Structure 1
Amino acid sequence: MKPIWIVDDDPSIRFVLEKALARENLPTRSFTNPREVLEALAQIAVGDPARQGPQVLVSDIRMPGGSGLQLLEKVRELQPGLPVIIMTAYSDLDSAVSSFQRGAFEYLPKPFDLPKAVELIRRAVEESQREEVTEERQAETPEMLGQAPAMQDVFRAIGRLSQSQVTVLITGESGSGKELVARALHKHSPCADGPFVAINTAAIPKDLLESELFGHERGAFTGAQTQRRGRFEQAEGGTLFLDEIGDMPFDLQTRLLRVLSDGQFYRVGGHAAVKAHVRVIAATHQNLEQRVKEGGFREDLFHRLNVIRLRLPALRERHEDVPMLTRHFLQQSARQLGVEPKRIAESALARLEQFAFPGNVRQLENICHWLTVMAPAQVISLQDLPPEVLESPVYQAPARTVATLAAPAASVVAERPEPLHAAPAPAPASGAVPVFAPQSGSGDLSVIEGAAPVLVTTNVATNGGWEHALETEAQKLLADGQTEVWDVLTRRFESRLIRTALAATHGRRMEAAQRLGIGRNTITRKIQELGLDAPDES
């Protein structure tokens, strides 16, 4: 562990703290004034291998050669996540207040109770290590893997967003890798040098989630013994990933909406606004449109988050990636366990490709870890696969038909009695991807200019209806040697959809656009492109 840095011109204070921390197996390094500390930090910055940065900084407030408060300000600039404890006299109230205002972790009054001082330093160490874990996880995360067309669409979308810090909503089933996409969006963005901070809003109790997100002031509630930075402050200058946003409590949704709208927030129990320069990426496996209809999710927050939406395919929709992912996870498990990587027979790989993977990529990773431990030989054979794979029926992708919509994802992912399994789209010549964004001046959604149409899939063998009619028409055009079938059917579909919406709203374009879930600019442009003779809004 990195040492605790102690800064005090009083040798007795340094001695007492050094001995007390040594008994707790906490390494220390001592300095007599702020200038020495800044020189040491400069040596670390230029890569001096003999020096290690601090885990926590404990500094007196008044010393020859500079004050602890000035040191605090400079350290916060150099290492924003470093907890700093300021030592001060009982009567020095102004100094204590200034310490907190400038971002100190806590202040330690002199003369201090030694066990309490050690306990405080331990809490600061835990806070420091918690932030280090986030950074380490980001550094260790490999690039995303995938050769399937559906994943190539995702990669192209990440590339298109690489110059932007726009808010993104990632949708997809649990275990499909939404956090990996969020990390990739961060890594390939203008704020890549900033921190990536992730929080699962479903995994934290409601009573603690507000403090986790926004932090709290000392004394804000029972047990709040110190001021604490929340995830928004930890992500300053970087990206905050809000996983399972659909499970966020309704009252906290209001606070989040205010941060996204105003760019500032208040710590729990605080009265001073804190600026938030943070890119927000949210993810959910839920149908947020349905959650809005049911009253469980704020509609205005949904539109704030749904600036650009990326849908991550389930593993069963990209079964051609299973061999590559399997070999990757077997290598990864072997490294973690310190053993020789196992190989897998083609028969076993073929069976894995026929598995539905209800737990998606996460389930495949767990299976590979299980095989690394449990498979008896170095080559994994078919019979070595776990029972859930061997005993499950062979997964057959349902018969599909592809219909194109110039409508937002909102009209595609509405809940149905049975889950839909989306098929990879045949990439159009433009290389477009299924990404969604609002038109200028509108909070509604529309397809990004040049993007591939949305895919709607269904089992025509059991459902019939208009989807079956669409399949029949597509087959007829293809059999007749018709070219550009995609564009032909898209125009016909859009024309009928817009005409029907305008008829239902008596020609009012704004209302028709709202009912369809697109912007007014979009419906106006589509009417012109399709040559629809629609009455203007009354």
Structure 2
Amino acid sequence: MPSGQILLADDDAAIRTVLNQALSRAGYEVRSTSNAATLWRWVSQGEGDIVITDVMMPDENAFDLLPRIKKLRPELPIIVMSAQNTFMTAIKASERGAYEYLPKPFDLKELVAVVGRALSRPRTAISNANPVENDDIPLVGRSHAMQEIYRALARLMPNDLTVMITGESGTGKELVAKALHDYGKRRQGPFVAVNMAAIPRELIESELFGHEKGAFTGATSRNTGRFEQAEGGTLFLDEIGDMPMEAQTRLLRVLQQGEYTTVGGRVPIKTNVRIVAATNKDLRVLIQQGLFREDLYFRLNVVPLRLPPLRERVEDIPDLARHFFTLVEKEGLSRKQLDVEAMDRLKRYRWPGNVRELENLVRRLAALYPQDTITGAIIDAELDSQPLLPPLPAGKPMAQAQAGSEGLSDAVERHLAEYFSGFRDSLPPPGLYHRILREIEGPLIGAALAATRGNQIRAAELLGVNRNTLRKKVRDLELMVVRTNRG
């Protein structure tokens, strides 16, 4: 049976009651308060084995209290809860020494599990040097999908693990890589971004690793590569799937041995660079086609981060639109607002260009339209290149509304016809079967997990597959599983 005293602080009496009951049933002694002053008195008196606190309390913000607690009792684990579910909330919690950050609402079982892990870990102080005081928000959105991204980023900030970011074009992969750098321990070093697709294949090795004078025709002087430029910082390798095999071999050596040689050079050069890679392609398909090294894939894919397309987090569109309107206003354009119909159109649009397309739309609206309020008719005119999804009837799930009266096989056939038509006189790239299968499996498994509120056992039963099969699919498809409460 677990044991330990929990100090709980939240100004919401209902939340205190629910958490007190859940933690007491789990075997813990709980002392709860509605204010930061009482919490600080208890901590100062040496009480408690762990602290669970809300951020916003009537007398003090928990982020101002955390540094004092960590200075007085650096080994005391602190779990931060917040309904202000932004990227900066997760980052501030991590920087101020919190053991874990939980966005509200959260699963009570998850909280109990986090408490158990915190109390069983070695009691060592959490290093919290050089906190970031910049309140600019590089990532926007409060959806469950983005909350998982924020929490993952907060955990990754203090270390140098290699990260693989996957997602469709326009989802913000470079923005996430830059956030990892700007709020991590390498923030004082350079951030160097390289787009593999934008460099001629025969020049990629020279671009990354540099070359010596006379290494090839036209090499009239020594050239420093991106690895040397990024020394002590972060190297972001975008569109990693376009890297030629020769460069992949060199990159693998860097990841294995921490050194490289320049093109035409013989002396190994030690490197101290964190690598973050990104792709909008399925690297496993490229591996099957012999276009990507499997051993390099596993070296890069230490921590996979999947960025959801905008159509999977439409609830973030109002926050994103306001954010972009604020940015363009700072650039000298007039401030706009969206009426109800305009916002409805934005939420029903398919967003093939994802967040980047939304940002471009906002810039057009701010630059081209004199009226202060953007109407649904204006949005219709701007988005006439693609049809909107049908309106969502009251009480009807989004997936059903999108399907309309069209059968699943008809919808798939139409999707495939549109897919092939995009290539006109040529055929799609090889590996079509696996790509389309992933397109179908991902939403299906995601819908089952959403319907069962993240319960993988129930989702497996719903789908009629083995539990281990479902877990493997979730891992292979890089789906994020979020447990939520009912009601």
TM-score (norm 1): 0.51
1:374 maps onto 2:368 in alignment: yes
In the alignment, which of 276, 301, 313 is matched to residue 271 of structure 2?
276
Q: List alignment gaps of at least 5 residues for structure 2.
A: 1-133, 391-397, 402-432, 477-487
* Larger Rg computed on CA atoms: 1
Shift of 1:352: 0.8
Note the C-alpha offset of 1:276.
Answer: 1.0
Question: Match for residue 184 of structure 1?
Answer: 179
Q: Does 1:361 align with 2:355?
A: yes
Is it true that 1:383 corresponds to 2:377 in the alignment? yes
Q: CA deviation at 1:186?
A: 1.6
- 2:141, 2:293 → 1: CA distance? 34
One of 233, 237, 247 as aligned partner of 2:232: 237
The offset of 1:219, in angstroms, is 2.5
Partner of 2:399: 398
Q: Deviations over 1:371-404 (max 9, x none)?
A: 122113222222222645246333364359xxxx
Distance 1:329 1:155 in 2: 20
SS, match of residue 267 in structure 1 = coil
Within 5 Å, give how 1:24-423 maps onto structure 2.
142-336=137-331, 338-385=332-379, 387=381, 389-390=383-384, 392-395=386-389, 397-399=398-400, 415-416=435-436, 419-420=439-440
Q: What amino acid is the match of 2:308?
A: P
Distance 1:242 1:262 in 2: 18
How far apart, CA to CA, are the structure 1 residues paired with 2:189 and 2:329? 32
> Quick check: 2:337–2:374 contact (8 Å CA) kept in 1?
yes
Is the contact between residue 245 and residue 291 of structure 2 (CA under 8 Å) also seen in structure 1?
yes
Q: Per the alignment, do residues 308 and 380 of structure 1 end up closer, same or farther by CA in structure 2, a change over 3 Å counting?
A: same
Q: TM-score, normalised by structure 2?
A: 0.56
Residue type at the aligned position of 2:266? H
1:317–1:422 CA contact under 8 A, matched in 2: no
Cα shift readout 1:165-218 (whole Å, capped 9, x = no counterpart): 100111111100011111112223222221111111111111221111111122
- Tell me by how many angstroms 1:143 deviates: 1.6
Aligned residues: 304
> Structure 1 counterpart of 2:360, which letter?
N
Structure 1 residue 457 corresponds to structure 2 residue 451: no
User: Secondary structure at 1:202's aligned position in 2?
Assistant: helix
Change (3 A) 1:418 1:238: closer
What is the DSSP-based 3-state SS (H/G/I as helix, E as strand, rest coil) of the residue aligned with 2:223? coil
Given residue 445 of structure 2, which amino acid in structure 1 is its aligned partner? V
Q: Name the amino acid aligned to 1:146.
A: G
Give per-residue Cα distances to partners, 1:134-156, cap 9 Å, x unaligned. xxxxx998521111111011001
- Residue 224 of structure 1 deviates from its aligned partner by 2.4
In 2: Cα distance, 1:250 partner to 1:211 partner: 14
Cα 1:500–1:285 shift into 2, 3 Å: closer
Q: Which runs of 5+ in 1 are unaligned?
A: 1-138, 401-412, 424-454, 459-466, 479-483, 502-512, 518-538
Q: Distance in 1 between matches of 2:335 and 2:455?
A: 48
* C-alpha distance in structure 2 between counterparts of 1:232 and 1:491, whole Å: 49
How many Å apart are 1:356 and its aligned residue?
A: 0.8
Distance in 2 of aligned mates of 1:499 and 1:353: 34
Structure 1 residue 494, shift from structure 2 partner: 12
**Conserved in 2, the CA contact under 8 Å of 1:162 and 1:188?**
yes
Residue 277 (structure 1) shift:
0.6
Letter in 2 for 1:384: I
Partners of 1:308 and 1:377 lie apart in 2 by 46
Distance 1:293 1:346, change over 3 A: same
Q: Is the 8 A contact 2:207 2:225 kept in 1?
A: yes
Judged with a 3 Å threshold, the aligned counterparts in structure 2 of structure 1 residues 500 and 324 are, in CA distance, closer, same or farther, namely closer
Q: Secondary structure at the match of 1:199?
A: strand
Matched residue SS, 1:169:
strand
Deviations 1:342-371 (A, max 9, x none): 222232122111111000001001111111
CA contact (8 A) 1:420 1:457 kept: no
CA contact under 8 A between 2:210 and 2:223: conserved in structure 1? yes
Q: 1:489 to 1:331 in 2, by over 3 A?
A: closer
**What pairs up with 1:468-507 in 2 under 5 angstroms?**
486-487=456-457, 496=466
Q: Deviations over 1:443-470 (max 9, x none)?
A: xxxxxxxxxxxx8236xxxxxxxx7xx9
Structure 1 residues 262 and 295: CA distance shift in structure 2, 3 A: same
Q: Which amino acid aligns with 2:268?
A: A
Indicate the RMSD between aligned Cα atoms, in angstroms: 3.5
State the one-letter code of the partner of 2:436.
R
Structure 1 Cα separation of the partners of residues 330 and 281 of structure 2? 34
> Is the 1:314–1:360 Cα contact (8 Å) retained in structure 2?
yes
Distance 1:379 1:499 in 2: 50
CA distance in 2, matches of 1:265, 1:485: 46
TM superposition shift of 1:286: 0.7
Query: Percent identity among equivalent residues?
Result: 45
Whole-angstrom distance in 2 between the partners of 1:297 and 1:318: 31
> Structure 1 residues 190, 357: closer, same or farther in 2, change over 3 A?
same
Amino acid aligned to 1:348: A
Q: Give CA deviations for 1:7-39 in whole Å, capped at 9, x if unaligned.
A: xxxxxxxxxxxxxxxxxxxxxxxxxxxxxxxxx
CA distance in 2 between counterparts of 1:421 and 1:328 reads: 33
Report the CA distance shift for 1:277/1:391 in structure 2 as closer, same or farther (over 3 A).
closer
Letter in 2 for 1:457: G
